[in-house]
């Protein structure tokens, strides 16, 4: 059995190796830096608590990515329940996009992010994982417990919707 200090050291290496990738995966879904930090902390806490139960059926990154994805989906679902009336999640995210300095400086990026935010949650998640994180459909299938065919269809529909949105709004 590993000592607590070696366990902590191994977990520290894990965080330094994957923390930034997990942060940006979460951030693309929730937009807000502070929300992303909270979700990432929850993800890392769950990973730390479950570290000994990691069986190695998938890569360590896939396991962490799955935890981060589930935490993000839970956060989004909770946020949707709390935003009522005219203040829905889409409008909330649009206002966050408008206020984020790093995105608003690049108008093309802003238009792409607006198009992505209009996608249904699952399509947005699949698009972000494939387009930004360059994950293979087989990896996404393990993370999301969905067939490769369904993921390919979701990605295809997302791309078509994004293309249409950009074409309609670039003129």
List, for residues 80-127, the tens digit of each pLDDT value.
Answer: 877 665 556 667 666 666 665 444 446 667 778 888 989 999 999 999
- State yes or no: pLDDT of 139 exceeds 90: yes
- Among residues 109, 126, 110, which one has the least CA distance to residue 160? 126
Tell me the average pLDDT of the chain: 83
Predicted confidence at residue 157, as pLDDT, reads 96
Q: Is 120 helix (H, G, I), strand (E, B) or coil?
A: coil
List, in sequence order, the alpha helices (H) in the chain. Answer: 4-30, 33-50, 60-82, 89-99, 101-104, 107-117, 121-127, 137-144, 148-170
CA distance 10 to 3: 11
pLDDT digits (tens, 9 = 90+) for 39-58: 999 999 898 888 778 888 88
- DSSP code string of 68-107: HHHHHHHHHHHHHHH--TT--HHHHHHHHHHH-HHHHT-H
Residues 6+ apart with CB under 8 A from 20: none
- Overall CATH class of domain 1-82: mainly alpha
Q: For the CA atoms of 141, 143, 145, 149, what is the dihedral angle to 10 degrees?
A: -20
Q: For the CA atoms of 26, 99, 112, 62, what is the dihedral angle to 10 degrees?
A: -10
CA distance 46 to 68: 9
DSSP state of 85: T
- State yes or no: pLDDT of 70 exceeds 50: yes
Q: Which CATH architecture has domain 105-171?
A: Orthogonal Bundle (1.10)
Domain boundaries, given as residue ranges, for the chain: 1-82, 105-171
- State yes or no: pLDDT of 143 exceeds 60: yes
């Amino acid at each position: 059995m590993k000592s607590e200090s070696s366990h902590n050291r191994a977990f520290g290496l894990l965080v330094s190796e994957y923390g930034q990738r997990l942060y940006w995966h979460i951030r693309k879904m929730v937009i807000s830096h502070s929300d992303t930090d909270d979700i990432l902390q929850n993800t890392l806490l769950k990973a730390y608590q479950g570290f000994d139960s990691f069986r190695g059926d998938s890569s360590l990154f896939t396991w962490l990515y799955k935890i981060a994805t589930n935490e993000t989906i839970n956060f989004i679902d909770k946020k949707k329940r709390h935003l009522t009336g005219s203040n829905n999640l889409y409008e909330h995210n649009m206002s966050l996009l408008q206020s984020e300095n790093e995105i608003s400086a690049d108008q093309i990026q802003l238009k792409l992010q607006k198009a992505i935010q209009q996608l249904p949650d699952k399509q947005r998640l699949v698009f972000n994982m494939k387009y930004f994180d360059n994950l293979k459909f087989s990896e996404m299938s393990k993370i999301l417990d969905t067939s490769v065919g369904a993921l390919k269809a979701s990605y295809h529909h997302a791309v078509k919707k994004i293309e249409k949105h950009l074409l309609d709004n670039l003129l």
